[in-house]
Structure 1
Amino acid sequence: MLTLFRWLLRLTIALIVLLLLGAILIWYFSVRSLPDYDATYRMNGLTAPVEIVRSTENVPHIFGQSDADMFFALGVAHAQDRLFQMTLLRRAAQGRLSEIQGVGAFAADDLARRLELYRHARQSLEAQNKDTRAALRAYAAGVNEWIAEVNENALGRGAPEFFLFPDQISYWQPADSLAILKLLAATSSDAVAQEVLRARLSLVSPQYGPDILDAGTGMTPRPVYASLFPGARFVTPEKLARPGGPAQLTSFLRPGQGLGANSIAAAPSRTAAGGALLANDILAPMTAPSLFYLARLQLSSGGVIGATIPGIPAVLSGRNPHLAWGIAPAPVDDADIAIEEVQPGNPDRYRGRNGWTDFQSRNEVIRILDAPPRAITLRKTENGPAVPGLDPGLRDVTPMGHVPVLKWTGLSDSDSTLSALIRLMRAPDTDSAKAALGDVVAPAMIVTLADSDGIRQIQAGMVPRRASDHPTAGRMPAPGWLNSTRWADPESIETGDLPDETAGILISSEERSPALLRRGRLTRLIQDREVHSRDSFIATQLDVISPAARALLPLVGANLWFSGEPAAPGTVERQRQEALALLAEWDGEMSEHLPEPLIYVAWMQRLQDRLIRDDLGPIADDITILHPSFIDAVFRNRDGAARWCDIVQSAPKEDCTTIARQSLDLAILDLTEKFGPNVTSWRWGDLHQVVHTHPGIGSLSGLGWIVNLTQSVSGGDFTVAQGGLMGGKSTPYRAVTGAGYRGVYDLADPDSSVFITSTGQSGHPLSRHYDDLAELWRRGEYIGMSLDPELARAAALGVTRLLPRSE
């Protein structure tokens, strides 16, 4: 027995030693991949020495003698800090995530292959102007030189994540940057998701279902979806509920949750300092690291600084010495689903313009980690690629014997959008900027501009032109064989000034709700002051007042405020009275420290679900966001919308006041189970949290708590400082989108301009710059934005020197 004990003790000690040695080795190799920001490297591809001066916040300020060297050094800086992110985005665009993430990424790869994002990117390389092609080559050379440096000096494979994935880091190609921009465009629109959901609602409730999305929009009456396909068979309504959102091309960017933005600008006549002001915040899924990376380049046209996306050699939002710009998605419907009829008995042909036509088909193989490869067949028609997996609901709205295809402005082989963005960086004034934006194809965007002379907004990008007799006006899928459903001029690129509706003030807001509530709040904040300053623009950007709450609460609670005698303590009636008393005095501020936002959101979620579930059944699970205009129409009984308040399965006829009270009681019961009976002790931030999730390893057991960042945040769906509530059924209060980047540019004192991203500059979880900006971002603070070289050098944490290898 003593001998056995000794051997067990020895084995235990040996196991502990092995674990310690393993931990030490993991730590050593992980630390090896942390870049040395105060080093000198000799690299091929440079024409002269370059310096990368890292500010205190690790923002690279790049100084050199030629533009090509600037883009080369930007490639080095991106690769030093975000190499894993870059390769993940590239794989997503190529449809090769499954090779490192396994079968769970197959749907994303299948979709990317069907959209042919990478093929369109390669073809579009020749559409770029000479300067852009040179920038792409220089940028790729910089990325590749850093990859070579990592390999030659065993620098931990460049990022610790590469130790967990069987990923051979292939060298960067100029087309890779264009492919990531294509990916950006593909995820920036929710047009298809809205089309499909509207059609599903029409199938379940033909007369009234789409009202949920269209109430208050003033849109013309739509046809009943099933009537577009007379004689065709659909799945039965009971099978229409298919939980789950669109396929995720990558966790950095998700269809329907891609980029949005708010932009505001004030002319010099409307500012205290006499110079134009511009503020821009870009909304994106919350990830760690952030999608955005701050950088400054000293180009021959002058310095430029702002937000980049690793993998793309352009500043998307920022300023140069003379011009500031901010971007936002244009409110255009840039995609349609066409339903093609497959020839009976011959699945290789479909109904075309001139009769039965062969599909354009080819086969591809997707390799999958730890699983056999899968072959897929890519098919195209005159209208576009077949995309059965683009949205889960497509299966419900596609008649039997038909196939859905995508018409999208981004399916272009001559997309010169990157050329436009690089020309914009060099533009000295708004006229030059407008000329540059003429090259934008997809995504269509509104660019807000400011220079010494004033401000202007330009809408740029390809805009579909639908026929006046289009049966659905692009709001639902439509038969692809009809001439009326074809785009009249799909090659139309529109670049033009938007009107200045408020003298000296311009506003652009990403807004998925038809109520346009966020834009209305922005307009009010801007119009409330005759003269603005940088600080007033910051306050506007951080505003967390919910216009939806201000509009809905007086309406929904009209017959509930202070009604009835005081109830006994501890009863649901007493809690309801306490909750209503709090809401009656509340100004709509969605502060994380208050109970009122939590009560309001829980109430409205329960109310909307109770209004629609009896009519829609399980499809109600897919209505994941609040539709204030629908609730407004119901409680005002606009066009008889109060009919939604009656529960069809019950014998009594319920009115809207009854439904409002029952919904509030259900919300209170839910919150009581979570936080106890004391209504005043509840806090919005206890449930409204943002989880900055690492797209590569954030979901892996034991690693998520290291690489993911969790913060309670203020704001909500409709506040200017957005904290989107799209967490799904299991986490309905989670903020999954937000301002990944905020910038405020003051042209009266350009070096007082400020910016911030949602996490930090480094993508390395062991770097102190992985999350050093996250708390500043949560508190609504910023860091400085200066083009003064001396200020950049004054507090530099390191200077990286790049020398031509020949020297």
Structure 2
Amino acid sequence: MRSVPLLAGLLLCAACSSAPPPPVAPPSLEERAQAVLAQTSGTLRLAGLQKPVTVLRDPWGIPHIYAETQEDLFFAQGFVAAQDRLFQMELWRRAGEGRLAEILGPRAVAGDRFARLLRYRGDMDAEWASYAPDAREIVTAFVRGVNAFIAQSRGRLPLEFELAGFTPEPWTPEVCLLRHASWAVTLNAGSEVARARLLREVGAELTERFLPTDPPKALEIPPGLDLTGIGPEILAGSGALRGPVSFRDGSNNWVVSGALSATGKPLLANDPHRALQLPSLRWMVHLVGPGWNVIGAGEPALPGVSAGHNDRVGFGFTIVGIDQQDLVVEETHPDDPGLVRFGDGWETLQVERQTIRVKGGDPVEVDLKWTRHGPVLHEDPARRRAYVLRWVGGEPGTAGYLGALSLNRARTWEEFQKAAARWKVPSENLLYADVDGNIGWQVAGLAPIRKGWDGLLPVPGDGRFEWQGFLPPGELPSAFNPPGGFLATANHNITPAGYPHVLGYDWAPPDRYQRILQAFRVPGGQKFTVQDFQELQHDVLSVSAKRLLRLLGLAGRTQPAQEALRPWIGRLLRWDGSLGKDSAEAAVYALWSAELPAAVFSPQLTAEQWKLLAPSASPQRAVEALEAVRPEERDAVLYRTLAAALQKAEEKLGPDPASWRWGALHQTPFRHPLSTGEAQSALLDLPPVERGGDAGTVNAAAGPGFQAVHGASFREILDVADWDRSVATNVPGQSGQPGSPHYADLLPLWAGGEYFPLLFSREQVDLQAKDKLVLQPGS
């Protein structure tokens, strides 16, 4: 009897074996991403290494690289950076080379042309020597490491390349010398165009009111300059490279001596503000080898770090407003547009024809042109003009942040100052602290000398408005061990009293700097800790809000407020001005201040004037204007705009004021550039983060339409008494590879105002390392 079930079972199995297998579902995007993640543990053999290199990744994804030679150290940095960020690095490279149209299509052609104009074409020996004596060797090793990862990953490139439909190409050392990063953080050709256009359309009084200079200076049209035809089309294509960079979003750094710290040694804090993006602009690394022991953050496509510390010195930076650009208006010959006037004669334009390959379209032929002043951005044949960019990026040593290669190795204040002299672009406030207890501040960057003119407007290119060289580094502002025991910068006007030179006229409002000063001027002499600095970096008290609230407190003396406004007036007057994400008052203030510019300024202007001036009409300028008008007029505007703000709050946040929150309006999105559909979004995008603060708070969070897309993606607080007690943050994660455990692991910390330890000693790194990768010489 048992044989029947057995036979049936055998027949059933036979039938099963002859049936077609069920279809296998293709791997999901997440599975494909996981399949190509970089190897971060075990052993890899790489051609080009001289000796073994150890890479220890800590719990937060920071690679600590230990090498026996300098060449191997930077080879490994290039390799490991590419492991984490190759797709981002390749986009950076293509943006700088002017080759985005090859992967993005016709919309990128204008930006590609602009990028090609910016490329350095000068003395290459002087270029390399400017950054550091061994800069060429370091960069060459770094690039070989990038190429080693590209070669190793040919069959399993990061998923982004599959989604984008292209593959990376081998790098050359010259990639690290591209100038687009420098362009993105220099001033001020755009300001010159804006001032010229407003001066022509609305006159000097309104231009100076809406685009004020610091210090105040009357605008003077350079003799021979015709303002007609000067408009935004001159800088067409530049926006793709500049990105959303503005002094309004700024950066902060400060340092205290041991006299003001709980440890008796200096503490240094830094939080550069740039685009909040996915992946992060910054990439962190620890480099240990002969002559090197430095940790911090830089850009993944460059060797070294730009903010951090070595075993003796800590450093951080903020942009300083040196005017490093001029727009030059060249006159072309009436019979030959290939000639431009200079002095009493004519000079020939240099012309270079290039082909821009375009995805989905025909190649585009472009003629790139230069004069003695720089690249020709725009031509106006009808007016016989060529608009030319004179900027520091044409000088040797002006690839953005590469000068940090010297800064990373400074061991004393004197060495730091010598290294700062090599840092030419972007212009920076460099702060310093060392283990001997010293603190310092050094302005770094090329500062053009303009004799008899100010650089606020475009200038004729006939030879009367030439740069007379650059200020010697020793004449740039600095301070060492100041009597007060602290130094701070926040993109504000840092020009010392009595300083004999003009560095520039465009600076950030002083709100953030004023708030930082308030923290240090505590009666009784507070002794600061790392925790105190964490709280200050996340401070959201608005100096501008307090200024507006002062006016509101004066209101009512001329006319009482409407009944419906009185409860909110009372709430606002009791409010401390902190723009916390859970604050209803902060939400009302933000909506209210947004109403002020149009209410204050537009009644005084024609519709066309207001259209031109509105982009420059900030709430802060509106409050300044209200401080100068009659109380009756002031109060009427305050009440009317507050009523409009409350109405908008109901529309945006609902009818119940108890549920109103600033964070419900004010959020940072994290959307990947390749997120083009539901499946891609699920893998690549991250949830938005509710934010407090605004552009003027120490914890800066700014952007259009209440989207907080600019701010501090990277923060560091350095404890000189014990480097292992230093802390940092970098959002959203170290890796740009979707599916990596370090793709977004730092986002919750950043969103919660928390930090991770910046491990430095080998003992602590070994103790907490999560991954160990050994790179061995071989093939």
| Cα pair 1:70 1:299 within 8 Å, conserved | yes
Which residues of 2 match residues 539-578 of structure 1 at below 5 A?
A: 539-555=535-551, 558-560=554-556, 564=560, 567=563, 574=564, 576-578=565-567
The 2-side partners of 1:108 and 1:258 are apart by 24
2:588 corresponds in structure 1 to 599
What's the CA shift string for 1:710-751, capped at 9, x where partnerless? Answer: 211111010011001x32xxxx11112110210000111221
Which residues of 2 match residues 239-318 of structure 1 at below 5 A?
A: 247-250=238-241, 253-254=243-244, 256=246, 260-318=250-308
Which residues of 2 match residues 291-440 of structure 1 at below 5 A?
A: 291-388=281-378, 400-415=383-398, 420-440=403-423
2:165 corresponds in structure 1 to 166
| Cα pair 2:491 2:507 within 8 Å, conserved | no
State the SS of the aligned residue for 1:410: helix
2:202 corresponds in structure 1 to 205
State the SS of the aligned residue for 2:394: coil
Question: Greater CA deviation, 141-150 or 82-91?
Answer: 141-150
State the SS of the aligned residue for 1:770: coil
- How far residue 675 of structure 1 moved from its aligned partner, in angstroms, is 2.0
| Cα pair 1:93 1:118 within 8 Å, conserved | no
The 2-side partners of 1:184 and 1:258 are apart by 19
- How far residue 603 of structure 1 moved from its aligned partner, in angstroms, is 1.6
When normalised by structure 2's length, the TM-score is 0.88
Q: Name the amino acid aligned to 1:426.
A: R
The 1-side partners of 2:229 and 2:334 are apart by 16
The 1-side partners of 2:607 and 2:593 are apart by 18
Which residues of 2 match residues 218-257 of structure 1 at below 5 A?
A: 218-223=215-220, 229=225, 233-234=228-229, 247-250=238-241, 253-254=243-244, 256=246
1:609 corresponds in structure 2 to 598
Cα distance change of structure 1 residues 259 and 553 upon mapping to structure 2, 3 Å threshold: closer
User: Would you say 1:750 and 2:723 are equivalent positions?
Assistant: yes
Q: Name the amino acid aligned to 2:450.
A: R
2:174 corresponds in structure 1 to 175
Cα distance change of structure 1 residues 598 and 244 upon mapping to structure 2, 3 Å threshold: farther
Q: Name the amino acid aligned to 1:668.
A: L
- How far residue 540 of structure 1 moved from its aligned partner, in angstroms, is 1.5
Cα distance change of structure 1 residues 263 and 192 upon mapping to structure 2, 3 Å threshold: same
1:466 corresponds in structure 2 to 450
The 1-side partners of 2:340 and 2:301 are apart by 39
Q: Name the amino acid aligned to 2:517.
A: T
User: Would you say 1:30 and 2:33 are equivalent positions?
Assistant: yes
Which residues of 2 match residues 630-645 of structure 1 at below 5 A?
A: 630-637=621-628, 642=629
The 2-side partners of 1:509 and 1:749 are apart by 26
1:800 corresponds in structure 2 to 773
Question: Greater CA deviation, 418-427 or 254-263?
Answer: 254-263
Question: Greater CA deviation, 493-502 or 774-783?
Answer: 493-502
Unaligned runs of 5+ in 1: 1-16, 390-394, 568-573, 646-653
- How far residue 354 of structure 1 moved from its aligned partner, in angstroms, is 2.8
What's the CA shift string for 1:34-82, capped at 9, x where partnerless? Answer: 1121121111111111110111111111112122211111111101010
| Cα pair 2:121 2:394 within 8 Å, conserved | no
The 2-side partners of 1:165 and 1:508 are apart by 41
The 2-side partners of 1:62 and 1:322 are apart by 19
Question: Greater CA deviation, 703-712 or 678-687?
Answer: 703-712
| Cα pair 1:215 1:633 within 8 Å, conserved | no
| Cα pair 2:282 2:297 within 8 Å, conserved | yes
State the SS of the aligned residue for 1:744: strand
| Cα pair 1:562 1:580 within 8 Å, conserved | no
State the SS of the aligned residue for 1:297: strand
Q: Name the amino acid aligned to 1:703.
A: Q
The 2-side partners of 1:679 and 1:120 are apart by 64
State the SS of the aligned residue for 2:337: coil
1:651 corresponds in structure 2 to none
Q: Name the amino acid aligned to 1:524.
A: Q
Which residues of 2 match residues 491-502 of structure 1 at below 5 A?
A: 493=473, 496=476, 498-499=478-479
User: Would you say 1:189 and 2:179 are equivalent positions?
Assistant: no
State the SS of the aligned residue for 1:803: strand
Cα distance change of structure 1 residues 98 and 349 upon mapping to structure 2, 3 Å threshold: same
- How far residue 400 of structure 1 moved from its aligned partner, in angstroms, is 4.0
| Cα pair 1:464 1:487 within 8 Å, conserved | yes
1:671 corresponds in structure 2 to 649
> Residue 116 of structure 2 is aligned with which of 108, 113, 123?
113
1:582 corresponds in structure 2 to 571
User: Would you say 1:59 and 2:59 are equivalent positions?
Assistant: no
- How far residue 263 of structure 1 moved from its aligned partner, in angstroms, is 0.9
Cα distance change of structure 1 residues 106 and 670 upon mapping to structure 2, 3 Å threshold: farther
| Cα pair 1:360 1:381 within 8 Å, conserved | yes
Q: Name the amino acid aligned to 1:681.
A: S
State the SS of the aligned residue for 2:139: helix
2:99 corresponds in structure 1 to 96
Q: Name the amino acid aligned to 2:444.
A: A
Cα distance change of structure 1 residues 119 and 687 upon mapping to structure 2, 3 Å threshold: farther
Cα distance change of structure 1 residues 429 and 620 upon mapping to structure 2, 3 Å threshold: farther
The 2-side partners of 1:514 and 1:40 are apart by 49
> Residue 779 of structure 1 is aligned with which of 752, 757, 770?
752
Question: Greater CA deviation, 349-358 or 732-741?
Answer: 349-358
State the SS of the aligned residue for 2:259: helix
- How far residue 418 of structure 1 moved from its aligned partner, in angstroms, is 5.9
The number of aligned residues is 738
| Cα pair 1:188 1:260 within 8 Å, conserved | no
- How far residue 672 of structure 1 moved from its aligned partner, in angstroms, is 2.1
What's the CA shift string for 1:551-610, capped at 9, x where partnerless? Answer: 23323663258963763xxxxxx1x33332222111111111112222212222221133
The 2-side partners of 1:478 and 1:119 are apart by 24
- Among all aligned residue pairs of Structure 1 and Structure 2, give the percentage whose two residues are the same amino acid: 27
Cα distance change of structure 1 residues 557 and 479 upon mapping to structure 2, 3 Å threshold: farther
- How far residue 378 of structure 1 moved from its aligned partner, in angstroms, is 1.4
When normalised by structure 1's length, the TM-score is 0.85
What's the CA shift string for 1:275-298, capped at 9, x where partnerless? Answer: 111001111101111011111111
1:9 corresponds in structure 2 to none
State the SS of the aligned residue for 1:536: helix
Cα distance change of structure 1 residues 60 and 169 upon mapping to structure 2, 3 Å threshold: same
Cα distance change of structure 1 residues 495 and 244 upon mapping to structure 2, 3 Å threshold: closer
Q: Name the amino acid aligned to 1:552.
A: L
> Residue 488 of structure 1 is aligned with which of 445, 448, 468?
468
Q: Name the amino acid aligned to 1:535.
A: Q
The 1-side partners of 2:360 and 2:126 are apart by 33
| Cα pair 2:308 2:315 within 8 Å, conserved | yes
- How far residue 492 of structure 1 moved from its aligned partner, in angstroms, is 5.1
Cα distance change of structure 1 residues 578 and 110 upon mapping to structure 2, 3 Å threshold: farther
State the SS of the aligned residue for 1:362: strand
User: Would you say 1:456 and 2:440 are equivalent positions?
Assistant: yes
User: Would you say 1:146 and 2:149 are equivalent positions?
Assistant: yes
Q: Name the amino acid aligned to 2:319.
A: P
1:716 corresponds in structure 2 to 694
1:766 corresponds in structure 2 to 739
Q: Name the amino acid aligned to 1:549.
A: A
State the SS of the aligned residue for 1:450: strand
The 2-side partners of 1:378 and 1:626 are apart by 37
The 2-side partners of 1:286 and 1:213 are apart by 28
- How far residue 321 of structure 1 moved from its aligned partner, in angstroms, is 1.4
User: Would you say 1:443 and 2:405 are equivalent positions?
Assistant: no
Q: Name the amino acid aligned to 1:21.
A: A
The 2-side partners of 1:666 and 1:399 are apart by 48
Q: Name the amino acid aligned to 2:600.
A: L
| Cα pair 1:190 1:256 within 8 Å, conserved | no
